[in-house]
Amino acid sequence: MDLKVYINDVGKRAKRAASSMAAIDSATKDRAFLAMADAVRANADAIKRENAKDLEAGRNNGLSDALIDRLTVDDSGIEKIAKAISEIAAQTDPVGEITDMVRRPSGIEVGRMRVPIGVVGIIYESRPNVTADAAALCLKAGNACILRGGREAFHSNMILAKVLRDAGTQSGLPENAIQLIEVTDRETVTLLAQAVGLVDVIIPRGGEGLIRAVVDAAKIPVIKHFDGICHTYVDAEADTDMAISICFNAKVQRPGVCNAMETLLVHRDAAQRVLPPLFAKYRKAGVELRGDQTTRAIDSDVLPATDADWKTEYLDLILSVKVVESIDDAMDHIRTYGSAHTDAIVTNNVFTARRFVREVDSSSVMVNASTRFSDGGEYGLGAEIGISTDKLHARGPMGAAELTTYKWVVYGEGTIRT
């Protein structure tokens, strides 16, 4: 198979489908989502059968238990997929909203209309539920999507895409609104990222290696979703109980996700009162602590942190801790080692809080709240395609609205320029 021809054909079909999708009304789209959710439930046995093939291949190829776990689609997984799609039906359709409409001195009226981006390419790794989540969210925003899932989930992705496509088509969506790349050669990633004029944006979701490969190859815009190396800075004027509660929650509530805290920065004047009780709580929860010299002077059971620790997204019950001299020190550390994902301050001082908010350049900046809130659902965006660590177009949690763009709409009454 000539992969270049194949990707080009997929792209052309997507472009035509995108043109039809843009004109489809909200009610039709929402009916399609409910039909898709039903179809996922109705095809549970077939989906589990195909998923079993991936699981067997994964075990034969020595995939870790954690990866096998992410790959597994059992009954509860199927229900989660179906529920997520039907929740997207209940969200507001972002397409068609007109904002900022003003009458100008020339007599024209001008405003911005929210419109679909067109063709969205999603490149992702092992979790099959992304196939359903990403497709539904792209369609909600009126786009066509091209999905390129990982090799490990090939059979699961194929059946899910087919079930969604069939249900969508029967509900009146264009046939090629959802397309899954049926070849898992690495080359298809490169070709998709170079499909100028056919694909409007690529969103890679996965490890740093995948994202770097996409960015290096890309000739079309990419919205990157890099790691979350999230910090909490406990200020000199932080409330002790609040600091302990927030820092515990940010690390322990769900350590395996990108908005969990990885590094705790504590002002020297707060370290003595905050760290000992906080460390006791962490230890009860099984958190491994790694700290700088000052931290270890306060608690000698803390392991020494190396430079690598400050740069690591543990995604695990491990925390690096550093005592800093000032908010400037804290912000320097965040600038140097952070990933511009989510960073929080705990303080009672409104001026310190305002400074942190202004000067920390991350996609989410928080005051007296747990970094775990950095999430499309928590922000009220509904389902999210991921959390962008990029600066252009969309920053932080990306919901359906972030999968749209705008055009200018101008009304005159025979108005000409003089």
Q: What are phi and psi of 281, to 5 degrees?
A: -65, -45
Distances (CA, A) of 14 to 166, 182, 402: 16, 15, 20
Binding residue for its own copies, selected from 22, 52, 57, 210, defined by CB under 8 A: 22
Binding residue for its own copies, selected from 219, 268, 283, 284, defined by CB under 8 A: 219
For residue 335, the minimal CB distance to its own copies (Å) is 8
- What six digits make up the tokens of 130? 């992304």
Q: Please say whether the beta carbons of 13 and 146 come within 8 A.
A: no
Q: Is 372 in the site for its own copies (CB under 8 A)?
A: yes
Nearer to its own copies, 79 or 239 (CB): 239
Q: Which range in 16-24, 29-37, 127-135, 282-290 contacts its own copies by CB under 8 A?
A: 16-24
For residue 339, the minimal CB distance to its own copies (Å) is 12
Nearer to its own copies, 22 or 318 (CB): 22
Residues 77-116 interacting with its own copies (rule: CB under 8 A): 96, 102, 104, 106, 108, 110, 113, 115
Binding residue for its own copies, selected from 363, 383, 389, 400, defined by CB under 8 A: 363
Question: How far apart (Å, rounded) are the C-alpha atoms in residues 386 and 376?
Answer: 8
Residues 25-54 interacting with its own copies (rule: CB under 8 A): none
Q: Please say whether the beta carbons of 132 and 394 come within 8 A.
A: no
Binding residue for its own copies, selected from 246, 261, 327, 398, defined by CB under 8 A: 246
Query: Which residues, in sequence order, are bridge partners of residue 178?
Result: 145
The burial class, CB within 10 Å (0-12 / 13-18 / 19+), for 96 is middle
Residues 122-161 interacting with its own copies (rule: CB under 8 A): none
Q: Which range in 58-66, 170-178, 236-244, 284-292 contacts its own copies by CB under 8 A?
A: 236-244
Nearer to its own copies, 279 or 356 (CB): 356
Question: How far apart (Å, rounded) are the C-alpha atoms in residues 268 and 233?
Answer: 11
Which DSSP helix (H) or strand (E) runs through 114?
Answer: strand 109-116
Query: Which residues, in sequence order, are bridge partners of residue 388?
Result: 396
Q: What are phi and psi of 346, to 5 degrees?
A: -115, 115
Q: Which range in 71-79, 84-92, 173-181, 405-413 contacts its own copies by CB under 8 A?
A: 405-413
Number of residues forming the site for its own copies (CB under 8 A): 72
Residues 185-214 interacting with its own copies (rule: CB under 8 A): 200-201
Binding residue for its own copies, selected from 231, 390, 398, 399, defined by CB under 8 A: 390
Residues 306-345 interacting with its own copies (rule: CB under 8 A): 335, 344
Question: How far apart (Å, rounded) are the C-alpha atoms in residues 233 and 267?
Answer: 8
For residue 343, the minimal CB distance to its own copies (Å) is 10
- What six digits make up the tokens of 411? 């009304």
List, in order, residues 6 or more apart from 105 with CB less than 8 Å away.
Answer: none
Q: Is 23 in the site for its own copies (CB under 8 A)?
A: yes
Question: How far apart (Å, rounded) are the C-alpha atoms in residues 133 and 380?
Answer: 17
